[in-house]
Amino acid sequence: MATRPADRRLRRARHVALAALATGVAGSLLAPGWVVLRGGHQVPLALAGVLAFAAAHAAALHAALTPWLPETTRTRRLLWYAAAAALSVPLVGATAGPRAWAWIGATVVGTAPLLGHRGAALLAALAPPLVAAGLGGWRHDVAWPVLLTAAVGAAVALVNRLQLWFWDLLLDLDQGRTAQASLAAAEERLRFARDVHDLLGHSLTVIALKAELAARLAAVDAGRAAQEAAEAQRLAAGALTDVRAAVHGYRDSVDLTAQLDDVRRLLDSCGVRCTVTARGTVPPAPAAQLAAVLREAVTNLLRHSSATWCTIDVAAGPPGTTLTITNDGAGARTQDGADPHGHGLRGLAERLAEAGGTITHRVDGDRFELRATA
């Protein structure tokens, strides 16, 4: 399934962060593995401990940078990581010596900032130097394992913390952009709702009073009741006319130039290079109709294509105004699933047809073109 360009950029940033953190996995595998092979004591058992720890470490790092994982999966991976770290003490430290295990201890310290839970992070930072000291005392080699665990672990922890900070910052920016778009749409809906309320509030109140009065008079004064009912009907018809005029004015007040500028900025922020050209002055009615087509088409582009560029051309002149939107990334898919027009564009096509307009589309390999006239 195609993803939005913004999602693809975020996914690429996640891959970069995972690649940077993978150096820690390589360190937890190669450094102790090399020491184990050089030592030559119980190599298979020690290597099994190193491999188990490296695999659990990779799973824990992946969970740290995958916020959409279920919480149960994340917890299970962290438990595997803790178990592998604990098993590495007898499997690696007791067989290959404290210097071999010191590299694993440094990896545990370096991964502490990624654990999320403050208690677990504190334990991961403090326990490895103590374990290295215990293994070193048993083998009469304390200073070097403890120094290696603490110093290398602190350096790795700093790098990992910076990677996690950048990743969290990217997530916050993406969520902020989504929230901003939702807020703008909500504010526009509230503004229109307030306008309709102000327009209808008084009329509906008077209509309700007239209808109530007519109901009371029906039994005692049929003529007066009929007059009140006719007045309520007249007020309702006037209110309906006012609403239609308000909606028509709301649609006709759409600034197509502003809409084009907003769409260009939106696509640019989502990683889609957008070029807009406009020729001539678009009358109010076609501008409102084409603005709706523009919004629907751009929504489909972001949701159902993997576009990297988009061109939008508006040409005003006799016999009408033409809006042409072209983008790549269509592939074998259409712009809106199985039906190239989708529900949104089908409805717009019907509205344009009532006003004498048309919507057409064509797919040429990876290229999609939508053309609307009004």
The full DSSP string for 190-217 is HHHHHHHHHHHHHHHHHHHHHHHHHHHH
Which range has highest mean pLDDT (129-133, 151-155, 210-214)?
Answer: 129-133
Residues of each domain in the chain carrying CATH 1.20.5: 182-252
Tell me what pLDDT residue 251 has: 55
Q: What is the DSSP code (8-state) at residue 314?
A: E
Instruction: Evaluate whether 149 touches 102 at the Cβ level (below 8 Å).
Output: yes
249-274 tens-digit pLDDT: 655 566 788 888 878 877 876 678 99
Q: What is d(CA 279, CA 60) in angstroms, rounded to the nearest whole number?
A: 56
Tell me what pLDDT residue 178 has: 67
pLDDT higher than 50, residue 338: no
Tell me what pLDDT residue 335 has: 43
Among 273, 322, 327, CA closest to 304:
327
The residue type of 84 is A
Tell me what pLDDT residue 274 has: 92
CATH assignment, 182-252: 1.20.5
pLDDT higher than 50, residue 336: no
The predicted model scores a pTM of 0.49
Which CATH superfamily hosts domain 256-373?
Histidine kinase-like ATPase, C-terminal domain (3.30.565.10)
137-188 tens-digit pLDDT: 887 778 888 888 888 888 888 877 777 777 777 777 777 766 666 666 676 6
Residues of each domain in the chain carrying CATH 3.30.565.10: 256-373
What does pLDDT average to over the chain? 79
Give backbone dihedrals phi and psi of 322, rounded to 5 degrees, phi first. -115, 130
58-81 tens-digit pLDDT: 888 888 778 778 888 888 888 898
